[in-house]
Amino acid sequence: MNILASLKERFVYMLVINIMLMVVTTSSAWALQCKYKTENSWSGGFVARIILTNDGPTTTQGWSVTWQQSDEAKIIQSWNAKLSRKNHYSATHTRWNRSIEAGESISFGFLGKGDDSAGTISTCTSNGEPSGHTPEEEDRPSYDNERLYTHAKFPIGIAVTADPSNDRSIYALSEKRKTIKKHFNQLTAGNIMKMSYLHPEEHQYNWDDADKLIRWAHAKKIRVHGHTLIWHSGYQVPEWMTNYSGDFEEMLNDHVRTIVRHFKRSVVSWDVVNEAIDENTNCWRNSLFYQRIGPEYIANAFQVAHDVNPKVDLYYNDYSTEDGNGAKFACLLELVDGLLADNVPIDGVGFQMHVQIDWPSASAIASAFQAIVDRGLKVKLTEIDVPLNNPWSSVPFPQYTSLTDAADERQKQRYKSIVETYLAIVPPKLRGGITIWGLWDGDSWLLELGDRQGVDDWPLLFTGPQDGPYKAKEAFYGVQEALMGADYFRQDEGL
Ligand code: XIL
């Protein structure tokens, strides 16, 4: 019901007409058959596909299709093909769908503006045949130049290294600043706004690095998400706090109050409490804060933060809660329901999304998001990364020792599915945004983790080198395609 309602709201301006299976034209040559199929159309737009079937005896080593749309139509986005930008359109294979085995079909799709979705195929050729031509490997079409964040009405964020003494910081690398500025409109500091960095001594707060980052961000019209006011993680808890002998509850409240007050005009949302759940110990992590105060430290922190800044969005943030069927998620709901029952001012739930390529399933993720949406809370994907190697898989680790085309494509589909799930389940007013935990693969915190055995995992949207220029991976296009196209597919599915 919720999904239906939100879709109605989103598409109220569209006259949705489900014209399924509107096959317009077919063309064939030698071994290849090409079929144009309108998937969906509405007043002002359409989604269509061209299906290529290899009827010949050998595998294709590339293909190209040309076709004409009516003058009323303009293709604005495509997927799974390299597309020319104007009518007559032509599309060629990408790196991963060059080969079509004998008897197999593949398809590529596109999104068009305009009222006429009809298309007429002119040529349909596979490489090697006499009448065909061999398309050169080209760079991606001009979508590369589009800014990722322009495709979303919610924040598209990135975690950054902002310790000025770090040679990977944004201050050290101009290409990093350039790419971040181009594609993202929200920042999270990877480390410098955590407890021990901001509050190293009882009576000392270090604002300089965070203020510097915020100044840089604001000058570029980028907003800042605060991470994080309270976090158990050993090295992030300042030593003086661990040994504190005064009124611990008041001290912690004061910590929250002082930080939220300092950033009152500069931070739009906070991870108020990070990782307070442990499903193995009756849901509560046995942290310093839990030991000294009990579970109330969570409600206290939200209340104090809200009292200082009623406008800032306040999130509870955790990892491995994305599995809507898991024990940890059940704990999350208990926590959230308790806070709501006590009228604690929580605005949303942050899902870190340090997921695996194959875990959790899209449907488990969807049910986790849905449960939070059902409670009227915002959903924010706060720290996404998708490593290709999974140390907990039944397939021996590492599953990949290089970033093959197939791996690149698999990762793209995973990123795409995560963003599509987000768009499908979370209605616009509850979308807190999505943030990727680092810019390029070599920046990923996962490489520091022991269980990764020093193997590259290629978890992010860009490849290096370290000082740039950074190149968008297929994963980037997966996110972009989901942002641009998911809404249209929702209609297809009759949601
Ligand atoms: C990580 C940082 O990326 C690393 O640089 C640091 O060494 C450890 O912390 N969940 C969180 C983040 O909430 O704060 C963590 O960030 C990654 C896991």
For residue 101, the model assigns a pLDDT of 86
Cα 223 to middle of ligand 1, angstroms: 20
Q: Tell me which DSSP letter residue 80 carries.
A: S
Residues 6+ apart with CB under 8 A from 126: 29, 30, 31, 32, 54, 56, 60, 61, 62, 63, 100, 132
Q: Tell me which DSSP letter residue 100 carries.
A: -
Which residue is closest in CA terms to ligand 1's atom 5?
445
Above 60 in pLDDT, residue 476? yes
Residues 6+ apart with CB under 8 A from 338: none
Q: How large is the average pLDDT for residues 225-252?
A: 96
> On the CB side of 217, how many CA atoms lie within 13 Å of its CA?
26
pLDDT bin (cut points 50, 70, 90) of residue 274 is very high
Q: Tell me which DSSP letter residue 319 carries.
A: S
pLDDT (tens digit per residue) in 170-214: 999 999 999 999 999 999 999 999 999 999 999 999 999 999 999
d(CA 20, CA 492): 8
350 lines ligand 1 (CB under 6 A): no
pLDDT (tens digit per residue) in 72-131: 888 877 777 888 777 889 898 877 788 888 888 888 888 888 888 899 998 898 875 433
Separation of CA 261 from chain center: 30
54 lines ligand 1 (CB under 6 A): no
Crossing angle of the two packed helices 405-425 and 362-374, in degrees rounded to 10: 20
Six-digit token string for 157: 């964020």
Query: Which residues face 49 on adjacent strands?
Result: 37, 109
Which residue is closest in CA terms to ligand 1's atom 16?
190
For residue 69, the model assigns a pLDDT of 92
Six-digit token string for 104: 């197999």
Q: Could you tell me if 470 and 463 are in contact, meaning their C-beta atoms sit under 8 angstroms apart?
A: yes
Where does residue 21 fall: left (phi above 0), alpha (psi -120 to 50 degrees), or beta otherwise? left
For residue 6, the model assigns a pLDDT of 52
Which one of 383, 420, 474, 481 is the catalytic residue? 383
Residue percentage of the chain with pLDDT more than 90: 69
Query: Which residues face 131 on adjacent strands?
Result: none
- Can you say whether the dihedral through the CA atoms of 166, 168, 173, 177 is positive or negative? negative
pLDDT (tens digit per residue) in 54-70: 988 888 888 999 999 98
The lowest-confidence range among 85-89, 131-135, 335-339, 343-347 is 131-135
Q: Could you tell me if 88 and 123 are in contact, meaning their C-beta atoms sit under 8 angstroms apart?
A: no
Residue 296 annotated in active site: no
Which one of 39, 275, 409, 420 is the catalytic residue? 275
Above 60 in pLDDT, residue 46? yes
d(CA 347, CA 377): 6
| The residue to which tokens 């020093």 are assigned | 454
Amino acid (one-letter) located at 468: G
Atom of ligand 1 nearest to the CA of 161: 5
Helix (H) or strand (E) holding 38: strand 32-42
Beta-strand runs (E) in 253-369: 269-274, 277-278, 283-284, 313-318, 348-351
Residue 201 annotated in active site: no
352 lines ligand 1 (CB under 6 A): yes
Above 90 in pLDDT, residue 41? no
Task: Say what the pTM is.
Answer: 0.76
Q: Could you tell me if 377 and 430 are in contact, meaning their C-beta atoms sit under 8 angstroms apart?
A: yes
Parallel, antiparallel, or unpaired: how do β-strands 156-160 and 431-436 relate? Answer: parallel
Six-digit token string for 16: 């949705």
Atom of ligand 1 nearest to the CA of 227: 14
197 lines ligand 1 (CB under 6 A): no
Domains of the chain in sequence order:
2-142 (2.60.40.290), 148-492 (3.20.20.80)
Above 80 in pLDDT, residue 494? no
Cα 437 to middle of ligand 1, angstroms: 9
For residue 107, the model assigns a pLDDT of 87
